[in-house]
Amino acid sequence: MVTVRKDHPVLDDGSVDIDGWMGHFSHLIDDSARVPLRMACELARQAELQSARPSYWGAQASTFRAGLEMVEILSGFRADQDSLVAAAVYRAVREDQLPISRVTDMFGRKVALIVEGVIKMGEVSKNLTADTAAEVLGSSENQLESLRKMLVSIIDDVRVVLIKLAERACAIKEAKHQSEERRVAVALEVQSVYAPLAHRLGIGHIKWELEDLSFRYLYPSDYKRIATWLDEKRLDRQQFIDDVISLLDERLKAINIHADLMGRAKHIYSIWRKMKRKNIGFDEVYDVRAVRILVDEPMECYGVLGVVHNLWRPIPQEFDDYISNPKSNGYQSLHTAVVGPQGRALEIQIRTHKMHEDAELGVCAHWKYKGTDLSSNSTSYEEKLQWLRTILDFHEVQGDLESLSEQVRSDIEQDRIYVFTPDGHVVDLPINATPVDFAYRVHTEIGHRCRGAKVNGKIISLVTHLKTGDKVEILTTKEGGPSRDWLHPTLGYVQTNRARAKIQNWFRKEDREKNLEAGKHLLDKQLKRLGLEDNRIDLQAISSRFNFSYAEEVYVALGAGDIQLARVLRVIDDFYNLNGETAPTRPIRLKKSRHKSSDNDVHILGVGKLLTQMAKCCTPIPGDDIVGFITQGRGVSVHRQDCINIVQLGLDEPERIIDVSWGEELDNQYPVNIQVEAYDRTGLLNDITSLLANEKVNLLSMNTLSAKENHTASIRFTIEVGELSVLSKLLHRINQLPNVLNVFRERDF
């Protein structure tokens, strides 16, 4: 049971005597922690006195005294100096009475990070309003487990969760002064989230407290009835337990086993849960009468078990060996139930002193322990919990919890995120999931009709990566379906196979003519945007690469989402390359200012190595149909076949025109001219240049022409890109910017 002093010692002026208060538990904290702890308590007191802001818990609640209570609980956990200091100031910081910068200045960044971590866990509760708490926390176990996973996923320091558990223990006690609505909301949160979390971490010392107090507020009639039953039979039960202990002590001393024996209090919530689970009455709950036996060595536990079973008949199927097979939270003990004196059922737990300490304090029992062998691939919820429990499993060495957290934190990489729906439900998604993934995870129709999203109340892009704790709202239209752009892998709209499959299925169900038209429009638009012409591509000839008989089947599959546009472009490239043709969509890496054409860039048919250079008038890039022109003293100038200048040169000096093709090794960068047509607005240029910078694309030049009469702007710029896929993605991203009407690759500037 967590015990907190009800009345703090006071000075003559009525204020709390901090030194006198610390004296009650000074044996539980290090000498070096006393001075900074006193400073922290005094800081919290002054912050409260100087603040005009009332406590979140009401006028009668004190953030300063709440901090003292948290420190007392943590001292029982043998917490270190930073944890005690963080606990003392946490409430003051959370309620804006004390700036976190002041904590950093006085106690260092490490303490401030702990406080911020506890506040971050508390952010989850903000999404559980009084209106939604009952629905969310009273829902399925899967939903509750997702909420617990969300909490665990944001913990980077084991001390954070311990302070939060202590804070919730104080909060559930303070709730008795709140309205019934607020009291029930806090009790639901504690019972459904924090008590199970304490159990998973093996901290029985606080688990029982959280369970019993939350049960008291949620089921007051049941709580009062069981409490009355326990009180009415207390004297009779105590005499029974005393007789059992006396007999056992005598038998154990006879075989030279030194043991500590004690009656074990049965908690009201666990009694009620057992009555419900087994559908039995109070008199049939045999472990209301329970004894705990503590010994020094594990082997002695089995010796004690033999004595118990020789004295009384075991009850079938009520024996559990958690020493050989510990529970998932590290709990170890022998449990048995027997028909004891007077024919009454009796539960007995047998464990070592160390096992008992572990069971009561869990991770807190080993503040001086640390572990080192977690895999660098540890990503799951269970592995994160194992990180929080890892100090239970390793030998004692020099160090402290801080070094444990620092050492192991780098080995934990989350592979899941946990976000809220608007009504407070938790949705479990892979890391890097987008709002579109979220929409399809919630419901297929929401995904199909998704047109935008808000995260934490702000409208964001549909390619934004969500983070744990985000509150996500999907903006939908009444009709319509998904966008084909969502299936484009380089655009980043969709990260999950679930969402991608549902989008593909939607388009697959569209009629053939719509998919044919959409696919043709998609390919033609992309080829035109890239400065290519579809009439130069024999789609019929390459359809066999997709196991199709006709060209239009490529369009249909493209429109239905069964094949990706990028794959079509690659197949076109590969087909023309294998057949010795000019590849219209050769993958490129383009660089002008830092490169002169090499022998590997352009192959001159029937001629050995000649100097080549890219014509500045049309700036060809790999993937363009090209032709060469023999210059006087400057080698071969390479032009696009549709270049106006090369057409005129071919008429004037046809004998100097030669066939050329792109070489095999294309590892350079080339300039590309882009034109953007848009409605003029403030920040348009900044948006474009920021996008280029984010995509790591080099900008060579830019100029802008504005037409005030129709409020439009024409922006021309030259960039360096490395592959057609990069150029394709870039043009699409620019086209998505607000007010942009069109964007395309220019033939000539």
Q: From CA 732, how far away is CA 727, in angstroms rounded?
A: 9
CATH code of 18-218, in short, is 1.10.3210.10
Segment 110-124 shows an average pLDDT of 86
Q: Is the pLDDT of residue 722 over 80?
A: no
Task: Please state the domain extents for the chain.
Answer: 18-218, 227-362, 368-409, 416-507, 510-578, 602-662, 671-745
| Non-local CB neighbours of 554 within 8 Å, separated by 6+ positions | 519, 539, 542, 543, 546, 548, 563, 568
pLDDT at residue number 382: 53
| Non-local CB neighbours of 557 within 8 Å, separated by 6+ positions | 515, 519, 546, 548, 563
Contact 103/112 with Cβ under 8 angstroms? yes
3-class DSSP state of 520:
helix
H or E element at residue 672: strand 670-679
Segment 305-323 shows an average pLDDT of 88
Segment 365-394 shows an average pLDDT of 41
pLDDT at residue number 287: 59
- Give me 638's structure tokens: 């390479």
pLDDT at residue number 40: 93
**Residue 733 amino acid letter:** R
The region of weakest confidence among 269-273, 372-376, 420-424, 432-436 is: 372-376
What homologous superfamily is domain 416-507 in, according to CATH? Answer: Beta-grasp domain (3.10.20.30)
Task: Pick the most confident of 42-56, 377-391, 456-470.
Answer: 456-470
pLDDT at residue number 203: 76
- As a whole-number percent, the residues of the chain with pLDDT over 70 amount to 73
pLDDT at residue number 231: 73
Q: What fold, for 671-745?
A: Alpha-Beta Plaits (3.30.70)
pLDDT at residue number 673: 86
Average pLDDT over the chain, rounded to whole?
Answer: 76
| Non-local CB neighbours of 713 within 8 Å, separated by 6+ positions | 676, 677, 678, 679, 680, 684, 704, 705, 706, 707
Q: From CA 520, how far away is CA 526, in angstroms rounded?
A: 10
Contact 657/629 with Cβ under 8 angstroms? yes
At the top level of CATH, which class does the domain 227-362 belong to?
alpha beta
Beta pairing class for 626-630 and 636-640: antiparallel
Render pLDDT for 48-101 as a digit per residue (tens, 0 to 9): 888 765 555 454 568 898 899 999 988 887 788 899 999 999 999 998 899 999
Confidence of residue 343 (pLDDT cuts 50, 70, 90): confident
H or E element at residue 639: strand 636-640
The region of weakest confidence among 8-12, 397-401, 447-451 is: 397-401
Beta pairing class for 612-614 and 636-640: parallel
Dihedral of alpha carbons 300, 304, 310, 313, sign: negative
Nearest to 529 by CA among 738, 737, 733: 733
Kindly report the three-state secondary structure assignment for every residue of 538-590: CHHHHHHHHCCCCHHHHHHHHHHCCCCHHHHHHHHHHHHHHCCCCCCCCCCCE
Q: Which position has the higher pLDDT, 56 or 526?
A: 526
- Give me 311's structure tokens: 């004295």
Render pLDDT for 432-447 as a digit per residue (tens, 0 to 9): 899 999 999 888 889 9
Segment 312-325 shows an average pLDDT of 86
Segment 355-374 shows an average pLDDT of 53
Contact 677/683 with Cβ under 8 angstroms? no
622: DSSP letter: B
The region of weakest confidence among 177-181, 272-276, 542-546 is: 542-546
Segment 311-330 shows an average pLDDT of 83
Contact 705/693 with Cβ under 8 angstroms? no
How crowded is residue 241: how many other Cβ atoms within 10 Å of its Cβ?
Answer: 19
Q: From CA 155, how far away is CA 409, in angstroms rounded?
A: 10
In Å, the largest CA–CA distance within the chain is 121
- As a whole-number percent, the residues of the chain with pLDDT over 90 amount to 15
pLDDT at residue number 41: 93
| Non-local CB neighbours of 144 within 8 Å, separated by 6+ positions | 137, 192, 193, 196
**Residue 465 amino acid letter:** H
Nearest to 570 by CA among 724, 713, 376: 724
Q: What is the pTM of this model?
A: 0.50
Q: Is the pLDDT of residue 724 over 70?
A: no
Confidence of residue 294 (pLDDT cuts 50, 70, 90): very high
pLDDT at residue number 405: 38
Chain centroid to Cα 370, Å, comes to 25
pLDDT at residue number 349: 93
pLDDT at residue number 184: 86
pLDDT at residue number 615: 82
The region of weakest confidence among 273-282, 359-368, 626-635, 730-739 is: 359-368
| Non-local CB neighbours of 339 within 8 Å, separated by 6+ positions | 312, 313, 315, 345, 346
Contact 266/290 with Cβ under 8 angstroms? yes
Contact 174/61 with Cβ under 8 angstroms? yes
Nearest to 171 by CA among 152, 147, 187, 151: 187
Q: Is the pLDDT of residue 469 over 90?
A: no
Q: Is the pLDDT of residue 341 over 60?
A: yes
Contact 351/323 with Cβ under 8 angstroms? yes
Q: Is the pLDDT of residue 245 over 70?
A: yes
